[in-house]
Amino acid sequence: MCSTPFGIKDQFRPKRFLISKPASSCSTPFGIKDQFSISLYVTDKIRARLAEREISYSITEVMNDLAGSNSWNPAEMVKLADYSDDDFYDWLLSDQSDNLLTLIGEFIDRFNNDENEIERTVVERIKIALNKVSERSPIDQLRVEKFIGYKKT
């Protein structure tokens, strides 16, 4: 019977925390002593909780990371690629940030190239959303042209 780091024998542990292994074997497949092992029950519970957890990022958060600083992580662009042009349109109309127009202008300037397909796709979706905004009224058209520097094509 294997002992724990504190000298407690497995016989005193609750059954659900025990690892099913032969009583004579106290090592892992690599020959390392198995003092700090976690039972399958616990690891299954951890995996189930992680699978349940869905992390959601707002467009504003990701845009601030991408266009609001001089460094960025390519994985963040993949997060933006999950949004549709309608999502960007809704975001443009609902976001109340002071730096929204500057942020969009910086983003388009930085990523408006043909190097990466994901970047190209995201910029095109944003441009479609901007076209929709500029079609709402002449003042919106002027805002898009003046503050963002993007003219409808």
Tell me: the pLDDT tens digits for 26-63?
545 555 545 556 678 888 888 888 777 655 678 888 88
Residues 118 and 137 in one domain: yes
pLDDT exceeds 80 at position 18: no
Residues 90 and 131 in one domain: yes
* Mean pLDDT value of segment 83-106: 88
State which residues form the domain around 136. 59-148
Residues 47 and 120 in one domain: no
Residues 88 and 126 in one domain: yes
Number of domains in the chain: 2
SS (H, E, C) the chain: CCECCCCCEHHHCCHHHCCCCCCCCCECCCCCECCCCCCHHHHHHHHHHHHHCCCCCCHHHHHHHHHCCCCCCHHHHHHHHCCCHHHHHHHHHHCCCCCHHHHHHHHHHHHCCCCCHHHHHHHHHHHHHHHHHHCCCHHHHHHHHHHHCCCCC
